[in-house]
Amino acid sequence: EVQLVESGGGLVQPGGSLRLSCAASGFTFSTYSMNWVRQAPGKGLEWVSHIGISGSPIYYADAVKGRFTISGDNSKNSLYLQMNSLRAEDTAVYYCTAYSTSSLIEFWGQGTLVTVSS
Amino acid sequence: QSVVTQPPSASGTPGQRVTISCSGSSSNIGSNTVNWYQQLPGTAPKLLIYNNNQRPSGVPDRFSGSKSGTSASLAISGLQSEDEADYYCAAWDDSLHGPVFGGGTKLTVL
């Protein structure tokens, strides 16, 4: 069974940092590209960052460029998102997704809530 | 404001067939495949349709997807009360180098 389990969310003050993790199982992690997608309270889905197979290419949405860093560890079947200089508008549930470039199917995790507030 | 446009709401009665449209551009829907997601209240999005018209295992065949040019649509036949949810379309955007999502359509079963 495919599973993506996010962790690391929580309450952080504006300007602070947080590191999200996504533990993958049930599929060959190294053959999937990965994304972080977020959803602010009561709002729609917004793409945050992408990392390709074997760590390349890497892309970011303009809203987070220069503040967030995506990375992956194939030995641990894990995806990460380092979030710095957090702002109130970064408050959202963050989902990790896995995409197969061969079958074109995509899997989603259950999300982790990040709240940026003083 | 999303670069991919969906109607904010749709509705139907049980047993009816409803469609939800998704309009994009040549850099996203026009050149890449479309996914559709169902999000029930308080839950994570669930992949409903991938590669324009493919259903993941476990998704009823009441749900179908299609794509033509820079537009796509999701059709739900035999509408059921449990279909009441938010529906999102998405496609990779070659200009933004990431997936773009429609703003979402809230489906109400009357």
The closest of A53, A52, A58, A37 to A109, measured between CA atoms, is A37
pLDDT digits (tens, 9 = 90+) for A62-112: 999 999 999 999 999 999 999 999 999 999 999 999 999 888 889 999 999
Q: By the CB < 8 Å criterion, does A42 face chain B?
A: no
Phi first, then psi: what are they for B66, rounded to 5°?
-145, 160
pLDDT for the residue A101? 85
For residue A102, the chain B residue with the least C-alpha distance is: B51
What integer is the mean pLDDT of B72-94? 97
Phi first, then psi: what are they for B68, rounded to 5°?
-145, 120
Q: By the CB < 8 Å criterion, does A58 face chain B?
A: no
The closest of B53, B32, B11, B45 to B98, measured between CA atoms, is B32
d(CA A79, CA A29): 9
The closest of B46, B31, B37 to B92, measured between CA atoms, is B31
Nearest-Cα distance to chain B for A117, in Å, is: 22
How would residue B1 be classed by pLDDT, with cut points 50, 70 and 90? low
pLDDT digits (tens, 9 = 90+) for A15-56: 999 999 999 999 999 999 999 999 999 999 999 999 999 889
Q: State percent of chain A over pLDDT 90.
A: 92
Contact B35, B45 (CB under 8 A): no
CB contact under 8 A, A44 and B101: yes
